[in-house]
Amino acid sequence: MKKRYEVNLTQHAQDDLERIYYYIAADNPNNAANFVLQLEKKVYLLNTFPERHPLILENEFFGTDYRHLVYKKYRIIYRVIGDSIFILRIIHGAKILQV
């Protein structure tokens, strides 16, 4: 049986999803809703084997152990603590994480 993790979205990550939605919705609300739903699916699939995704390069600067999952042009940045996953940010792939 696979170990299951509890997935938690921080307020920053929720705000990121909202910004992504409104950015895309400016051109096409249907695409925005579908894209955010796909992002959310990816987020919640992290409940099994979250360590399969690589550590982020910014860890070197911050002294952290964050990982990321890339979906299209976006990075889902998260941290594993015990049996929980904390989604910290969802940012465009061209951006560097700022703490």
For the chain, the structural domain boundaries read 6-92
Q: Which of 21, 41, 42 is nearest to 32 (CA)?
A: 21
20-66, pLDDT tens digit by residue? 999 999 999 999 999 999 999 999 999 999 999 999 999 999 899 99
Q: What is the DSSP letter of 47?
A: G
CATH topology of domain 6-92: YaeB-like fold (3.30.2310)
pTM, to two decimals: 0.90
Q: Which of 78, 82, 93, 91 is nearest to 44 (CA)?
A: 78
